[in-house]
Amino acid sequence: MLKPAPTTPVAALKLAEICADIFPPGLVNIITGDDDLGPQMSSHPGISKIGFTGSSETGKRIMAAAANSMKRVTLEMGGNDPSIIMPDVDVRATAEKVFGGAFLNAGQVCLAVKRAYVHEDIYDEFCGALSEIAGQAVVGDGLQQGTTIGPIQNKKQFEKVKDYLEDARRSGTVIAGGRTRDGKGYFVEPTIVRDVTDGQRIVDEEQFGPILPVISFSDVDDVVTRANASDYGLGGAVHSADVEAATDIAGRIETGTVWVNQQLNIGPHIPMAGFKGSGLGVEQSVEGLAEYTQMQVINVARAQA
């Protein structure tokens, strides 16, 4: 049984049309509804397993509702995903990777880069490269050829993103974007904000929109501590010409997935899990499928001949 978010029913209904021609009647059920439908499903005695993708606050409510009937839950929730950029990288090539990881789907991806920590030796150069790439982005209707940044999905999130834009202007220096587009649709220019640090909303909270704060660092141990100082722990990345050193740093990042010299390399065969407030259980891969099974041990003693 699949319930899409109230703001995104169309793709799920199209999936229902496809499933109707493949599976027996009643095997796949897709139900659309408002926010009051989710709690009914979470507490329904006829449902023994819940898999949820969404905000951490909603995930907590699902856990509470599921407890009454001891439902098993898999939760894939928010993230404030850090990307650490060491001073030995190819600045332009790495900036393109980080930009792509931050602004995919206009930043509306749980595993998107939400904060970039750049070594002070290349901070100015890296910020400049990100700004240049952002300036080349084409904002508009995703159905139009050449568009690279589409809209915010709904008005409520659009208002939140605008609030983060205001915070970015107050907290740091906006060096690219920072504006919404007039007319039909919820369009926000890809925004790069520098001269910010931990403890500010634009850094500490998940923007879930096309805004990337860029934070300077000088010490590896310090940046690992700062990257881990979050209630979230979904994804992260480390970029360096020294792959072994980057891999060592990656092992110290408290996130379910850590990429080295890449961003958002995911697939159905790769497990995805979250630390802390970012999730519970595993999605995707054989391990993810096992979350939807029930182990049973039948231990038989045979009579002696």
Strand order in the sheet with 49-53: 49-53, 72-76, 279-280
- CA 294 to chain centroid, in Å, comes to 28
Q: What is the DSSP letter of 181?
A: P
Structure tokens given for 239: 């970029």
Question: Catalytic: which of 17, 57, 110, 254?
Answer: 110
- Location of structure tokens 């990337």: 212
**What is the DSSP code string of 70-115?**
T-EEEEE----EEEEE-TTS-HHHHHHHHHHHHHGGGG--TTSEEE
**Active-site option among 17, 19, 76, 254:** 76
Total residue count of the chain as it appears in this document: 305
The yes-or-no answer on residue 76 being catalytic is: yes
Residue with tokens 């990345």: 237
Contact 176, 190 (CB under 8 A): yes
294 CB-near residues (< 8 Å, 6+ apart): none
- The Cα 97–Cα 118 span in angstroms is 14
Q: Which residues of 189-219 are buried (b: 16+ CB within 10 A; e: fewer)?
A: bbbbbbebebebbbbbbbbbbbbbbbbbbee
Is 110 a known active-site residue?
yes
Q: Which of 64, 73, 13, 1 is nearest to 283 (CA)?
A: 73
Q: By CB neighbour count within 10 A (0-12 exposed, 13-18 middle, 19+ buried), where does 107 fall?
A: buried
Q: Is 161 helix (H, G, I), strand (E, B) or coil?
A: helix
Cα–Cα distance, 282 to 264 (Å, whole number): 17
Residues recognised as catalytic? 76, 110
